[in-house]
Amino acid sequence: MKNNDNMMHLRLQLNDLLNRMPDKPAKQSRVAFDAFRNTGFPTTKWEDWRFTSVSDLQRADWRLSLPSDLPSDLSGISTDTGITPYSINFINGHFQPHLSFLPPEVEIFNLTDFYNNNSLPIFDVQHKHDPFYLLNTALFDSGQAIIIPDNTTIEKPIDINYIKTGFTDLIMFQPRTIIQVGSGSEVSIIESHVGDNNLAYFTNNRSEIQVGTKSRLNYLSFQEDSLQAYHIHSVVIDQERNSLVSAGFFNIGSLLSCNNVLTHLNGEGAELNMFGLSQSANVQHMDIQSIVYHNSPNCSSTQLFKNILSGRSKGVFKGQVIVSKDAQKTDARQSNKNILLSNDARMNSDPQLEIYADDVKCSHGSTTGAMDEDAIFYLRSRGLDLFEAKSLLIDGFAGEIIHKISDKNIRKIITQKIRNLKI
C-alpha cells in the first residue's frame, strides 16, 4: 500500500535526521512520529479538511534537505528586500548565519539548543491530533528561536526568509520558528516564503509565537512559494495581558497553501487584529483555517480574510471564534469576503462562533460573489476601460487588507506583487 510505503520512507528520513542531528531529542521525535503514523495525513473525511485534499502531496517521496543541497554559490541569491537591515535567512532549509543580521538586543538560538537549554520538550501533547504538528515535531531540521527581551523596541522589521532555490530532487522542509516577545516590547516580524518558480517541494512550516504583557507585535506571513509547491504553515500565537498583535497572511504562491492559525488570548485586555489576502489562479488551492480562543475577559479580536479567485482555483476559509465562559466583555469580529473572477473558481467559507460567556459582542459574516457589475459600469461611465475598471476594483478589494499593514514600505512591495498578478 502506498500509504505504508510513505510511512516507511518518512521513518527512514527520521532515522537519517536523528543521525545528522544528535542534539535533537530522539525519543520525543520518535514518539511524535508514531503519533503521526496513527493519525496519518488528514483526509477529506476529516471535518476540518472536507474541502482541502492533501492526497497529491503524498504521491511523492519527499526527502529532507541535506547540507549538499545548499547551492555552492550564494552570491546571486537576494536576501535584501531593501526595507530593513535585519534578516534571518534559510536557504534550502539551512540557516545562513553569515547572511543574517539582527539588532544587538535580539537573541537568537539554534532550535535544539533552545529546547535543551531551557529543558523544554519538543513535543507538546496538546497538539497530538494535528498531523502537520506531529510531522514537524518529528522531522524539524531547521529553525531558530528569536528572543526579544523585556522593554525592548526594535525600530525596523525583522525579515525571516525561507528561500528555496536551485535543486532538482523532491525535497521537503520542516522548519520550526519560535518567537518570544518579552514584556513591554515592540517588534515587527515578517516571515517570507519564496521559491524558484518551477521547483516541486513540500514545506511544513510552524511558527510558535508568544507575546508578553503590554507588548506589541506586528506579524506578517508572506507566501510566494513555487507554483509546484505544497505549502503548509501553522502559526500559534499566545498573547498575555494587554498585548497587541496585528497578524497578516498573504498568499499568492504554491499549488496548495494551508495557513492554520491558532491564537490564544490568555491575558485580560489582549487585542488581536488578524487579516489575510489570498490570490489564486489556474488550479491553485488556498486554505485558511483560523481559531481564536478568547480565554480572558476584555479581550478583542478582529479577523478579515479575503480571497480573489480566478481560473479553476479554489479557496477555503474556516474561521472559529471560541469564547470561554470567563471571557466576559469579549469583542470579537470575523469576516470573510471573496471575489470570484471566473465561473470555474470555487470558494468554501465557514465562519463559526462558539460562545460560552453571556456579556459579549461577537459578529461574523461571509460574502462570496462575482465583481460588482454596477461598480464596473460606474467606472466605465467615467472613461476607464473594462480592464482598468476591473483592476481598480481588485486593487480596492485587496487594498482594504493591504492598508492594515502599518509599514509603508512593506505595503508598497505587497501592493506591487499583488498588482503584477494576472487577472
Residue 61, by phi and psi: left (phi above 0), alpha (psi -120 to 50) or beta? beta
- In the complex with another protein, the residue whose CB is nearer, 356 or 378, is 378
Residue 155 DSSP code: -
Min separation Cβ 244 and another protein, Å: 24
Q: How many residues does the chain have?
A: 423
In angstroms, rounded to a whole number, what is the distance separating the alpha carbons of residues 244 and 272?
Answer: 6
The amino acid at residue 170 is L
Strand order in the sheet with 244-251: 94-95, 86-91, 158-164, 186-195, 216-224, 244-251, 271-280, 300-309, 331-340, 361-369
Min separation Cβ 380 and another protein, Å: 4
Report residue 318: phi and psi, to 5°. Answer: -130, 115
Does residue number 369 form part of the binding site for another protein (CB under 8 A)? no
- In the complex with another protein, the residue whose CB is nearer, 107 or 372, is 372
Nearest of 261, 270, 311 to residue 294 by alpha carbon: 270
- In the complex with another protein, the residue whose CB is nearer, 155 or 400, is 400
Min separation Cβ 197 and another protein, Å: 29
CB 317 within 8 A of CB 350: yes
Site string for another protein, 320-359 (x = CB under 8 A): ----------------------------------------
Min separation Cβ 313 and another protein, Å: 21
The amino acid at residue 267 is G
The residues in 372-411 that bind another protein, with binding defined as CB under 8 A, are 372-375, 377-386, 388-389, 392-393, 395-400
Min separation Cβ 277 and another protein, Å: 11
- In the complex with another protein, the residue whose CB is nearer, 129 or 403, is 403
Min separation Cβ 61 and another protein, Å: 45
Please state, in angstroms and as integers, the Cα–Cα distance from residue 326 to each residue in 13, 320, 359, following that order. 45, 18, 10
The residues in 276-305 that bind another protein, with binding defined as CB under 8 A, are none
Min separation Cβ 416 and another protein, Å: 15
Count of residues touching another protein (by CB under 8 A): 24
Nearest of 15, 150, 178 to residue 88 by alpha carbon: 178
The residues in 40-79 that bind another protein, with binding defined as CB under 8 A, are none
- In the complex with another protein, the residue whose CB is nearer, 51 or 397, is 397
- In the complex with another protein, the residue whose CB is nearer, 73 or 374, is 374
Report residue 91: phi and psi, to 5°. Answer: -115, 125
CA atoms 150, 176, 193, 103: torsion sign: positive
In angstroms, rounded to a whole number, what is the distance separating the alpha carbons of residues 222 and 277?
Answer: 10
Min separation Cβ 393 and another protein, Å: 7
- In the complex with another protein, the residue whose CB is nearer, 384 or 413, is 384
- In the complex with another protein, the residue whose CB is nearer, 198 or 416, is 416
Q: Site residues (CB under 8 A) for another protein?
A: 372-375, 377-386, 388-389, 392-393, 395-400
